[in-house]
Amino acid sequence: MDILPAFPDPITGPNCLIVPDRQSMSWRPSNPKGFAKWFEDRCELVSTAEVTRVLARAEPVPLQQGLDEKETLKKAVQLLKRWRDIRFQQKPAVAPISMVLTTLAGELYAGEVSLARTMTGVLKGIVSRIETCNPRIYVLNPGNPQEDLSERWDDRRNYREFLDGILEFNNAWEVIVRTRSLPGLCESLQNLFGAPVQAALAKQARRIQQLRESSSLRIGSAGVISSSIAKAAGIPLRGNTFHGKK
Protein backbone atom coordinates (compact mmCIF):
# COMPACT_ATOMS: atom_id res chain seq x y z
CA MET A 1 0.00 0.00 0.00
CA ASP A 2 1.32 3.45 -0.97
CA ILE A 3 0.92 6.08 1.75
CA LEU A 4 1.42 9.76 0.93
CA PRO A 5 1.28 12.51 3.58
CA ALA A 6 -0.89 15.50 2.73
CA PHE A 7 -2.79 18.36 4.32
CA PRO A 8 -6.08 20.00 3.27
CA ASP A 9 -6.18 23.05 1.01
CA PRO A 10 -9.73 24.36 1.64
CA ILE A 11 -8.99 27.71 -0.01
CA THR A 12 -8.63 26.05 -3.43
CA GLY A 13 -11.70 23.85 -3.09
CA PRO A 14 -13.33 20.82 -1.43
CA ASN A 15 -11.08 17.74 -1.20
CA CYS A 16 -8.09 19.72 -2.52
CA LEU A 17 -4.78 18.78 -0.95
CA ILE A 18 -1.19 19.87 -0.73
CA VAL A 19 1.17 16.92 -1.22
CA PRO A 20 4.96 16.58 -1.16
CA ASP A 21 6.88 16.17 -4.41
CA ARG A 22 10.11 14.23 -4.07
CA GLN A 23 11.69 15.47 -7.30
CA SER A 24 11.21 19.20 -6.68
CA MET A 25 11.55 18.89 -2.88
CA SER A 26 8.47 21.08 -2.45
CA TRP A 27 4.72 20.91 -1.79
CA ARG A 28 2.35 20.62 -4.79
CA PRO A 29 -1.45 20.93 -5.26
CA SER A 30 -3.53 17.81 -5.86
CA ASN A 31 -7.06 16.40 -5.52
CA PRO A 32 -7.29 12.60 -6.03
CA LYS A 33 -10.89 12.36 -4.79
CA GLY A 34 -11.99 15.18 -7.06
CA PHE A 35 -10.26 13.54 -10.01
CA ALA A 36 -11.97 10.19 -9.33
CA LYS A 37 -15.39 11.88 -9.07
CA TRP A 38 -14.80 13.77 -12.34
CA PHE A 39 -13.87 10.59 -14.22
CA GLU A 40 -16.89 8.65 -12.92
CA ASP A 41 -19.13 11.51 -14.09
CA ARG A 42 -17.51 11.43 -17.54
CA CYS A 43 -18.18 7.68 -17.78
CA GLU A 44 -21.90 8.42 -17.47
CA LEU A 45 -21.81 10.78 -20.45
CA VAL A 46 -23.61 8.43 -22.81
CA SER A 47 -25.75 10.47 -25.17
CA THR A 48 -29.48 9.76 -24.90
CA ALA A 49 -29.90 9.89 -28.67
CA GLU A 50 -27.27 7.24 -29.29
CA VAL A 51 -28.62 4.96 -26.55
CA THR A 52 -32.08 5.25 -28.11
CA ARG A 53 -30.67 4.42 -31.54
CA VAL A 54 -28.84 1.36 -30.27
CA LEU A 55 -31.73 0.07 -28.16
CA ALA A 56 -34.12 0.44 -31.08
CA ARG A 57 -32.09 -2.16 -32.99
CA ALA A 58 -31.53 -4.56 -30.12
CA GLU A 59 -33.50 -7.14 -28.18
CA PRO A 60 -33.44 -6.94 -24.36
CA VAL A 61 -30.14 -8.18 -22.96
CA PRO A 62 -30.52 -11.28 -20.75
CA LEU A 63 -29.78 -10.61 -17.08
CA GLN A 64 -26.64 -12.74 -17.15
CA GLN A 65 -25.07 -10.70 -19.95
CA GLY A 66 -23.40 -7.34 -19.96
CA LEU A 67 -24.98 -5.60 -16.95
CA ASP A 68 -21.76 -5.78 -14.95
CA GLU A 69 -19.52 -4.67 -17.82
CA LYS A 70 -17.49 -1.50 -17.47
CA GLU A 71 -18.55 1.73 -19.09
CA THR A 72 -17.24 2.43 -22.58
CA LEU A 73 -14.91 5.19 -21.40
CA LYS A 74 -13.24 2.89 -18.88
CA LYS A 75 -12.65 0.29 -21.60
CA ALA A 76 -11.11 2.98 -23.82
CA VAL A 77 -8.77 4.02 -21.00
CA GLN A 78 -7.76 0.38 -20.54
CA LEU A 79 -6.86 0.16 -24.23
CA LEU A 80 -4.85 3.38 -24.04
CA LYS A 81 -2.91 2.05 -21.05
CA ARG A 82 -2.34 -1.30 -22.76
CA TRP A 83 -1.02 0.49 -25.85
CA ARG A 84 1.22 2.60 -23.61
CA ASP A 85 2.66 -0.49 -21.91
CA ILE A 86 3.41 -2.17 -25.26
CA ARG A 87 4.70 0.95 -27.04
CA PHE A 88 7.02 2.07 -24.22
CA GLN A 89 8.05 -1.28 -22.75
CA GLN A 90 11.69 -0.64 -23.69
CA LYS A 91 11.70 2.90 -22.26
CA PRO A 92 9.13 3.13 -19.45
CA ALA A 93 10.68 6.31 -18.04
CA VAL A 94 9.20 8.37 -20.91
CA ALA A 95 5.80 6.64 -21.01
CA PRO A 96 2.77 8.92 -20.38
CA ILE A 97 1.39 8.39 -16.88
CA SER A 98 -2.03 6.80 -16.36
CA MET A 99 -3.69 9.99 -15.07
CA VAL A 100 -2.69 11.87 -18.22
CA LEU A 101 -4.22 9.22 -20.50
CA THR A 102 -7.31 8.97 -18.30
CA THR A 103 -7.84 12.74 -18.28
CA LEU A 104 -7.36 13.13 -22.03
CA ALA A 105 -9.81 10.31 -22.73
CA GLY A 106 -12.33 11.71 -20.24
CA GLU A 107 -12.16 15.22 -21.69
CA LEU A 108 -12.52 14.01 -25.28
CA TYR A 109 -15.22 11.41 -24.66
CA ALA A 110 -18.47 12.48 -26.33
CA GLY A 111 -20.83 9.86 -24.93
CA GLU A 112 -20.44 7.22 -27.64
CA VAL A 113 -21.75 3.74 -26.86
CA SER A 114 -19.40 2.08 -29.35
CA LEU A 115 -15.86 1.44 -28.09
CA ALA A 116 -14.48 1.76 -31.63
CA ARG A 117 -16.09 5.18 -32.07
CA THR A 118 -14.89 6.25 -28.64
CA MET A 119 -11.29 5.31 -29.47
CA THR A 120 -11.53 7.08 -32.84
CA GLY A 121 -12.85 10.26 -31.23
CA VAL A 122 -10.29 10.26 -28.43
CA LEU A 123 -7.31 9.67 -30.73
CA LYS A 124 -8.43 12.28 -33.26
CA GLY A 125 -9.03 14.71 -30.41
CA ILE A 126 -5.52 14.22 -29.02
CA VAL A 127 -4.00 14.70 -32.48
CA SER A 128 -6.04 17.90 -32.91
CA ARG A 129 -4.74 19.23 -29.59
CA ILE A 130 -1.18 18.44 -30.61
CA GLU A 131 -1.66 20.54 -33.73
CA THR A 132 -3.16 23.53 -31.92
CA CYS A 133 -1.38 23.57 -28.55
CA ASN A 134 2.01 25.26 -28.41
CA PRO A 135 4.53 24.56 -26.98
CA ARG A 136 2.77 21.44 -25.68
CA ILE A 137 -0.51 19.98 -24.44
CA TYR A 138 -1.26 20.83 -20.84
CA VAL A 139 -3.27 18.20 -18.97
CA LEU A 140 -4.62 19.60 -15.68
CA ASN A 141 -6.32 17.71 -12.88
CA PRO A 142 -10.07 18.42 -13.35
CA GLY A 143 -10.44 18.18 -9.57
CA ASN A 144 -7.72 20.79 -8.98
CA PRO A 145 -6.59 22.73 -12.08
CA GLN A 146 -3.49 23.94 -10.23
CA GLU A 147 -2.04 20.44 -10.62
CA ASP A 148 -0.35 19.91 -14.00
CA LEU A 149 -0.51 16.15 -14.56
CA SER A 150 1.65 16.48 -17.67
CA GLU A 151 4.55 18.37 -16.11
CA ARG A 152 7.09 15.76 -17.24
CA TRP A 153 6.37 16.97 -20.79
CA ASP A 154 8.32 20.12 -19.94
CA ASP A 155 11.20 17.89 -21.02
CA ARG A 156 10.91 18.11 -24.81
CA ARG A 157 12.31 14.60 -25.23
CA ASN A 158 9.49 13.11 -23.18
CA TYR A 159 6.90 15.12 -25.10
CA ARG A 160 8.40 14.09 -28.45
CA GLU A 161 8.19 10.43 -27.45
CA PHE A 162 4.50 10.89 -26.65
CA LEU A 163 3.84 12.72 -29.93
CA ASP A 164 5.55 10.04 -32.01
CA GLY A 165 3.71 7.27 -30.18
CA ILE A 166 0.21 8.76 -30.29
CA LEU A 167 0.51 9.71 -33.97
CA GLU A 168 1.53 6.12 -34.78
CA PHE A 169 -1.41 4.86 -32.70
CA ASN A 170 -3.87 7.12 -34.52
CA ASN A 171 -2.59 6.06 -37.95
CA ALA A 172 -2.74 2.38 -37.00
CA TRP A 173 -6.26 2.78 -35.59
CA GLU A 174 -7.47 4.41 -38.81
CA VAL A 175 -6.25 1.32 -40.69
CA ILE A 176 -7.98 -0.98 -38.21
CA VAL A 177 -11.42 0.63 -38.54
CA ARG A 178 -11.17 0.24 -42.34
CA THR A 179 -9.98 -3.39 -42.22
CA ARG A 180 -12.50 -6.06 -43.22
CA SER A 181 -10.12 -9.05 -43.21
CA LEU A 182 -10.04 -10.97 -39.92
CA PRO A 183 -6.37 -12.04 -40.29
CA GLY A 184 -5.40 -8.47 -41.11
CA LEU A 185 -7.42 -7.16 -38.18
CA CYS A 186 -5.82 -9.65 -35.81
CA GLU A 187 -2.30 -8.68 -36.89
CA SER A 188 -2.96 -4.94 -36.58
CA LEU A 189 -4.56 -5.26 -33.15
CA GLN A 190 -1.75 -7.49 -31.92
CA ASN A 191 0.81 -4.88 -32.94
CA LEU A 192 -0.99 -2.36 -30.73
CA PHE A 193 -2.15 -4.44 -27.79
CA GLY A 194 -0.03 -7.60 -27.75
CA ALA A 195 -0.70 -11.32 -27.49
CA PRO A 196 -4.12 -11.29 -25.70
CA VAL A 197 -5.74 -10.08 -28.94
CA GLN A 198 -5.52 -13.51 -30.61
CA ALA A 199 -7.24 -15.26 -27.70
CA ALA A 200 -9.98 -12.59 -27.60
CA LEU A 201 -10.69 -12.89 -31.33
CA ALA A 202 -10.71 -16.69 -31.11
CA LYS A 203 -13.26 -16.47 -28.29
CA GLN A 204 -15.40 -14.11 -30.38
CA ALA A 205 -15.20 -16.46 -33.38
CA ARG A 206 -16.38 -19.39 -31.24
CA ARG A 207 -19.27 -17.30 -29.95
CA ILE A 208 -20.34 -16.36 -33.48
CA GLN A 209 -20.15 -19.99 -34.57
CA GLN A 210 -22.34 -21.03 -31.61
CA LEU A 211 -24.92 -18.39 -32.54
CA ARG A 212 -24.86 -19.56 -36.14
CA GLU A 213 -25.32 -23.21 -35.22
CA SER A 214 -28.26 -22.32 -32.98
CA SER A 215 -29.84 -20.23 -35.78
CA SER A 216 -29.57 -17.12 -33.60
CA LEU A 217 -27.76 -15.08 -36.26
CA ARG A 218 -30.03 -13.24 -38.68
CA ILE A 219 -29.58 -11.02 -41.70
CA GLY A 220 -31.50 -7.76 -41.55
CA SER A 221 -32.99 -5.82 -44.44
CA ALA A 222 -29.89 -3.62 -44.66
CA GLY A 223 -27.60 -6.64 -44.92
CA VAL A 224 -26.51 -6.42 -41.27
CA ILE A 225 -25.77 -9.74 -39.55
CA SER A 226 -26.61 -9.73 -35.85
CA SER A 227 -28.05 -11.83 -33.03
CA SER A 228 -30.17 -8.88 -31.88
CA ILE A 229 -32.41 -8.75 -34.98
CA ALA A 230 -35.98 -9.79 -34.19
CA LYS A 231 -37.24 -13.03 -35.77
CA ALA A 232 -39.85 -11.21 -37.82
CA ALA A 233 -37.33 -8.70 -39.13
CA GLY A 234 -34.54 -10.97 -40.34
CA ILE A 235 -33.64 -14.18 -42.13
CA PRO A 236 -31.78 -16.88 -40.14
CA LEU A 237 -28.19 -17.39 -41.28
CA ARG A 238 -27.75 -21.00 -42.33
CA GLY A 239 -25.13 -23.08 -40.56
CA ASN A 240 -21.88 -24.18 -42.16
CA THR A 241 -21.89 -27.57 -43.89
CA PHE A 242 -18.51 -29.16 -44.39
CA HIS A 243 -18.01 -31.97 -46.89
CA GLY A 244 -15.14 -34.34 -47.44
CA LYS A 245 -12.53 -35.83 -45.15
CA LYS A 246 -10.26 -34.08 -42.73
Give the DSSP letter of residue 146: E
Task: Give the per-residue pLDDT at 212.
Answer: 65
Long-range contacts: 210-213, Cβ < 8 Å, 24+? Answer: 212/237, 212/239, 212/240, 213/239
> Residue 48 — pLDDT band, cuts 50, 70, 90?
low
Give 181-210 pLDDT, tens digit per residue.
777 888 888 888 987 776 766 676 677 666
Strands (E), 3-99: 7-8, 17-21, 26-30
Query: Which among 232, 242, 238 has a CA at the least distance from the CA of 215?
Result: 238
* Confidence (pLDDT) at 180: 82
The predicted structure's pLDDT at residue 53: 67
Residue 218: what pLDDT?
Answer: 55
Average pLDDT over residues 236-240: 54
**Residue type present at position 234:** G
Predicted local distance difference test score (pLDDT) of residue 208: 67
Whether the CB-CB separation of 136 and 153 falls below 8 Å is answered with yes
Residue 157 has pLDDT above 60, yes or no: yes
Pairing between strand 17-21 and 26-30?
antiparallel
**Where does the pLDDT of residue 124 fall: very low under 50, low under 70, confident under 90, or very high at 90 and above?**
very high
Q: What is the pLDDT, as a whole number, of residue 223?
A: 44
What is the C-alpha separation between 166 and 95, in angstroms, rounded?
11
Range 14-57+68-194 classified under CATH 1.10.1410: yes
- pLDDT mean across residues, the chain: 82
Tally Cβ neighbours within 10 Å of residue 72. Answer: 21
Q: What sign results for the dihedral spanned by CA atoms 180, 182, 183, 185?
A: positive
- How is the chain split into domains, by residue range? 14-57+68-194
